Every structure is written in C-alpha cells, then in structure tokens.
Structure 1
C-alpha cells in the first residue's frame, strides 16, 4: 500500500529529526532551503507540505505564495510551522493550517491526517462531478428538468440543439416556444392522428399535466415553417423535503416518424471531512476552556444559520434566561452587540449598562453594571465565519496582559471552525453527488426500451437489474421495417458511471440501416458489429474496458434469423418443447488491443413454437451463500421445466428459480435476459 508523501521544508536539523521520528508512517522528502523545497515540490508532487517560515534563502511566506500560485500545487495542503506571529498572513497567502513551535506529536499527526483526508475527499468529488457532467452532456437525448410551477431549471446542450433555443433562454421559461402536436401512440392503424395540440405561448405546466402515461411523441412546428418530430418521456422526480420536479428526456425522431411512424423510444435522465465532534460540541468545549483560561464572566460563539442570521452555537457562564433570549433572537444586549460586530467586522467593546438603557435583563443577570462585552469577528481569508463574544468585568486588564495569547486562540478557533465548515460543504456536495447519480440512473433507465414491440406471431419479454446505481448491461429491441426486427444484448466491463457511459456509446452507435444510392439498406448483424468496433477504436477508451455483444436480425414473418456476436461466452439458447440448442457464435471482445477484428455471422430459422433466450453472464455466475454458482445447467433445467408456458410465465419461472437458489438481492453483477418466441 502506497504511503502518503510529505515534503518537509525546514532548515533546523533538530526539528527535522523530530519530524522524522513523528512521521515514520509516511514517505518523507526533506529539504533545508526554499529553492530545494520548491524544486522538490514540482518534481515529486507531494500529498502535503510542512513549511517552516524561517528559511536561509527564501522567506517562508514568499515560498508559500509561490507554491500556491501554480496550477500543479494549488490544491496541495500546506501546514505552516512557525514561532513567528505571521499566521494570518500565511493564511492569506494560501496556507491551509499551522502549528506553533514547539508542538506535540499527537497534535502534528491529527492536523496532518485531517488535511490529507480533506484533500483526498476533494479530489474524489471533483472526479465524480466531472464524470456526472460528462454523462449528462454526452447523452444523445435532450434533457430538461422542470419544476412544479412549469419552469425550466436545467437544460443540456442536446436539448438546446434539438429545440434550437439557447440554454440561457430556456432557463426560467414557463411557456412553449413553438406549437406542439401530440399523437396517440396506442392507435396502430394511424399513429399520426393528432390527439393534443398546444400553441406557442401555452404554459409548460399544462403540457406536463396532459402527459398521463408520461411518454409522448410530438411534432414541433417552428416559426420558419419547418417541423421536427420528437419522442421522449416525462418522469417525476420527488426529492427529500422538496417539491416535485419533472425530468423530460427527448430526442429527434423525424426520420423514423416520416419513414415508418411505428418506432418508440424513451430517454430518461436519472455528494467532508468528519470531525469527531459536532459544531455545537466543539464550540461548547472551546467556550468552557476560554472562560477558564482568561477568567472571564462568560463566553459565547455565534455562527450564521441557514437564513444568514447569527445563531448561538456555544456558550459558557451565561445565565439561562439570557441564553433563551439570544436563541429567540430577542432585543437582547448580547445578541445586539454580536450583530453590531457582524456589521463592523472589527473588535468592539461595549458597556452592558450604557449599551441598552431599556434592557434590564443583563444587569439583573450579572448583578453589576460594570460588565463589558468584547465582540471579536472570526475571519478567515477575508470571510466572516462568526463572532466570539466575551463578558468581562470593567477594569479587567486581561486583554492587555494576554493579548498575544488571545490572538493565538482567535486564529485557532477560526481555523478549526473553518475546517468544520469545509467539512459540512463537502458532505453537502457528496449528498448532491448521490442525488446526481440517482438522476443518472434515471437517465440510463430511460435509454432502455420502455415499451417492447407488439408484432404478429412474435412474443417478446425482457428483464434487467443493476448491481450498482448504474449498470454495464444494455439491450434494445426495435422494428426496422414491415418485415424485420433488430435486437441486441450487450455487456460492458465494470459497473458505475464508466460502464453507463459505455452503454450510452453503444446506444448511440448501433446503426441498423444505411443510405445507399438514395435508398435505405438494412445492415447485416456482422456489418453492424464491425461498424460499432470501428467507432470504438476511434474513441479514447481505457485499455481495460471492453464490449461483448450479440446482435440479431429477425424476419418476424418468415422466422429467418441472422445473428453475429463478439465476446459472448454465454451463448443464446434456442428451445421448444422437444429440445434445446445453444447458438454458438464465438469471437473476441471489442477492445482497443484487439486487431484484425472479424466477427462470425450465422443463420437459422425459428419455427412456430421456437423460442430464443438471451442472457448476460451475471445470471449464471451469481452465487449462493456457499459460493456455488447458479450455472448454465440449472438455467437450462429451469427453461425445460416451463417451455410450454407463455413468455411472461417463462420469465417469471426463471426469475423464481434463480432467486430461490441465490437467496440474496445484492447481486455482484448486472443481470439481463430477453425472450423471443415465434408463435
């Protein structure tokens, strides 16, 4: 396991030896001058830097500025080691934390562990957010998110392209920019019969409420006279403690509608560090310590609440009724002084009796008119985090005698609470990331066929489930023309966002027909797979990624089936009431290393009563609690035991037998299987 790399820039051999003894669990790089340290930082790219402010050649503050000014090291945490009183300046130049010499080993290790963990969490969040944005922007479909008032609150680039409206113009809009004509998808005789018509300027909310089955096909009438056909789906998104939102996923189907008027598709668009104490407990412990150390009457700490108002998060030595008044944000002396300090953002001194002549609560609570309140703003990098407030007896010279000590405590608590604030922000980002992944799953789910083709003499059924939020299995079944049905089952390496991006690539690059001499020619399965492999090689996919796919072209009138596959080791099973047969069609996976790619193509005829069962390896490789795989033999026996049933009951029987054996819903791989029967 690789050790975290720490660069130590320190001129004192005594301090270096102490640091080496403390940090034996880390890989250390030692430099005794600023120039050496700067060069080492650029060469070794450390995970964290310990920087002494007193160096023989370059001032530590200047070196801190240089380290943070470049792109390479701007995100690397720097902990300043110093005896100098220039910590605030170090923070302003980019340092993340500091330790005042001499320091204890435990304090050093705690600060390093916290900063390393925060840095790693930030990197993971940046990577995840980049992947999510890539997923949304690379999808072939237009995506809109609409709030419960009918206003567009998100649009991707493809939506802007399909609707020919700039994203900035769509955001906040609650009206249709073009007239829309909707069609009844259930009418097979005349699927282009207009059912609903919306005029330009009509409210988007009305159009949403009209989509009862959440799927639609419509014609867009542009102002310049040209038209475009879109199909898509509307999905309700209901987040925790939030009003309902709608995910609208759509794509251009103009060519499909004009040629066949039969095909349907739905697309669907589917978040810091943890300190051991809560914010309130840290504040409470600090106020008790500060009250004891400075022998003051009382201490309070305020931070901003979610409404931007000051809220009491910690106190010590304050009378209960005064605390109640502060929490209720009443006309209370302590609370009013805190607000004034918030506005002025500088240390203020106020005499309780003269500050609020009408308020007797404080005078009564402290039994003396000679108390002063000191308000100290807690500022980090020019940003006010909160207010530290202390109640002292008039004439107490603690501030003058221990001003340096107080300054150190102010810097400490500001840095501590800033760390907590960053932690909360990271947790919030993490939660939003989880929400985005959930929406990404909705997007991927929307890419699957939402309604299987209904054809004479052919019965079709399908099931799929993901091992994680996002999966690497994908299938599609689609009518090509009056005679032919295309279908494929794909399994890509891995799970999660990377696998989901691969399935989107497959969905976008399976082309069943091509234009030739002004006519559309249906491609053979071998041609489709070779074309997919050619496009794969043009992309920059990682070497450890691959695609296994089975593609079939079925004349659903005659039963003639042409098929090709690559990378599949679990071959489809053709069966009827008499026997079963595997459709062996070997070939290498689609991968950036594979050269001279040449898939095999075969043919057969499905007779009435014949069925074809396709499945991915997750179905047969899943194990029970003893580690025994379900296996192909059990699958075939399950099929034989129910081959006389209709497709829906066969699928239910296979599911029941599988789940009875595995007895676990947390699958290790995606599971997908399809069934086609020639009636």
Structure 2
C-alpha cells in the first residue's frame, strides 16, 4: 500500500505541487482582508514605498537578466521562442521600471507623481504585454530556428517602451483611466485584470500540456509562476488604496512569481551550457589521458597473440600493402619520392598517392592507433571510404578535402571500431597546372615542410580534430586550406615516427636535424635527397630496427625549361 502511494506521489508530484500552490495562494487572498486594520497600523506610506521599490526592483532585475541570457546566447542557439520570450521580458522590465518610478509618493519622474493612475496604467500595460507575449511564445515551436538579426529583438521592445512612456506621461487621456482618486479602481482596470487572468490561465494550460510530453522542470516552474501571477492580478482587483494590504499582497505574489522565473528560466539557462560543457570536457579529458594508454595495452595484447596469428598477419599485410601507392603518378610538371619503413609486420602508418584526373592528384598520409591486424583493418576502411567519397564528390565537381574528411568522420562513427580507436591524417588535392595544393587536416600531428628553391624552409601550420568516436561531443567541420607551390619548390609530408626516432641515449632525431639534411641537399635530385634522409635517420638510430613506423614522401614541382 505504502509503495503504491509512493509511486503515485512520484508520478503526480508536480501536479500535486501545482494544486497545492494554487490552493495556498487562494487561501491567503481570502484571509488577507482580516488583517487590513493591523496592516494599516504597522505599514506607513514610507515603509510601503520601500517594500514596493524592493519587490519591483527584483522583478525588473529578473526580467532584464532573462533578456540578457536569451540575447547573448541567440548566436549559438538561434532559438526563436527563447529570444522572443527574452524580448518580452525586456519590455516587461522597462514598463515595470516606469511603473515603479511613477508610483504615487515617489520622487518626480518627468512629471509629479501626485496620482496613482499613471503607475496603474503602466501596470496594466506591462501585464497585458506579458500575457500576450507569453501566449505568442507558447505557440512558437520550442525548437524553431530563426535567421532574424538579434538586434531586432532589442530595438522593437525598446521602441515600444519609449512610446508607451511618452503616451502615458504626456498624453494621459490616450488610455482610459485605471484609477481615480477618492473613487478607486475603474471598470477599465478591473476588466483588464480579468482579461489578463484569462490569458495567463490559457498560457498555463498550454504549458501543462507541453509539460506532460516533455517533463521539463523549467516548464513546470513557469506554470507555477503563471498560477501565482493569476492570484496577483486578482489581488489587484480588490484593493481600494494603492497602499492597502491587497496591493501589497499582489506585489508579494509578483515577487514569488518572478523568483520562480529566475529559478527556472534564468538559472537553468545559465547552468545548462556549463553542465554540458563540463560533461564534454570530462569525456575529452578521459579520452586524452587514457587513449595512448589503451592503445599501448591493446598493442601488448596483440603482440602476445603474435605467434598464433602469423599467417593471418601475413595475409593482412599483403592486403594493406595493396592499398599503398608504391607506383606514384608522375609527369613533366611533378614528381614524388616515397619512403616507407614499418616497425612491425603490419604498419600503423598509411599513405596513398593517386591521380584523380588529368589535372589533379590526390594524396593522404597519416597514422592509426596501434599496429597489427586492427591497423590493417583501419587502413582498408580508410582507403575504401576515401576513394568512394572522392569519386562521389568528383562527380559533383567538388574536390574539397575538408568535405572528404567530414564524411569520413561521420562514416567512422557508424562503424563498430572501439572508442579507443582513432585516425590522424592529412588529405590533399594538388592541381598540376596551377601548383595549388588544397588540403585539410584531421589531427595530423607533424607539420609538412616547404623547401623553397632559395634554401628557406617553412612549416605548413596545421590543426584539426582526429577521426574518432566523439561525434556527439565534437561535430565541427573540417576546413580547407590553400598552399601555393612555386616551380622548383619541394614539399615533404611525413609521420611522427621520422622525427621521434631515438638513438641509444634516448635522444630524438627531431626537426632540426631533418631541416639540416634538406638544406644541405637542396640542389640534389629528389631521389638522392630521400635516400640521404633515410641514411641520416638510420645512422642516428644506429639500427634499421625502428620503434615506430617511418613514412614520408616528397613532392617536387618541377621547373619548366
């Protein structure tokens, strides 16, 4: 029995809270009149004005804060409902500020505050705008995107606010009177309050229906705010003096309603992106800290099974090598020299150089996590995916390396490869006639070198995100970049195994030694330069048994004589 009651409470908890809130607000409104005389005795006009100012100041602050959050997140979210609601709150905040400053008994605000009618008119205008604005906001689909410039959502409410300030202050007869001294509330004011109550109720019902589908706590708090706002408006139908208990109670209700808006809309809007960012940061941190460790552990496991898998490995290696371009395309304008030294029977490095058509040559180079059979499978996956995507894009006239990497990233995230598997690579398309190299990087961790014919060497600055299983966290586009290759220039592409080769003392070969070799062999034939690089690295290591794969190729744009 108790479990059944507990389940019912859990299931209908928010609806129970809503009913209790409405009942409590109604009960307080009913009994408030019993304390009228006591209230008048202890609450002087000066005290009332102080409390009124504090209540209104807090609600104005909440209104402007909601606007600021929606306005400055609009560039990222482009959410129409959120930014429209923010502009409504900006208008409410402005008009509530006019209401506060023009309240009877306050210092002059453009004109003397000798009558309660001006402040009451501002109150009704503010509540009507909020009710109609909330109703329109609920009609807008929650995920509706907008292309409207965000400045529009500031300019329009500002213009409306200034217009109403001018009309109510200097043309008081434009609107019917809301409060007449020594008479009290007019029928216009009372009917307006009832209209506002009806609109608030309609909005609350729409949001309750939306809450049933989404179970969003922000919607629930907004419903509570609307219910309390309804009783706030009912209190403003009952007062006889702007300083009596019903007017005071109405402002307390409004304070509570705006506190709920602050708690629901504002705090949630501020916390949500930071929580999402924190979760994403923790996931990225975990992957960054454990990726190499997991790869190392997986490699050790593969090595232990090496003896039993030799036949399969030999077969896998033959498949992998069939993917490499041992015969590279050449013509009178361009030539390549390739060197490839796997550390194991099956390499983690990969490359390919192939002709797209008579005018363009494509290539890629990179590294996959680990070695052995998984590396071979990744190489096969990559080769098939890139070739298929390149053929498809070329048929559309789109030779964008960035687009190829985008689609490869998406395809990789649909595979069954483990979360600890990743690919770093650089993909490029070279136009033979113009010498223009268009390229994009997916986390390739060494920068290509341009060897100018005058002996200067420049690094091509690269950046990009590895191809890995993080599409839910990182889904940015890979960017295309252009590098112009002049006649006589050479470009060297390589993997990190080259510069991270170590000697017996544990010292790295490094880019400094590599650049010295390139400079000293600048005028030598391309094949000779590639051979000297290999000799230099192996001499430095003292052995040809590499700890990591070493792969590089050099592109030369030939000079025309």
Give the alignment's TM-score, normalised by structure 2. 0.43
Please identify the structure whose Cα radius of gyration is greater: 2
Larger RCO (CA under 8 A, 6+ residues apart): 2
Bigger strand fraction: 1
What TM-score, normalized by structure 1, do the two folds share? 0.36
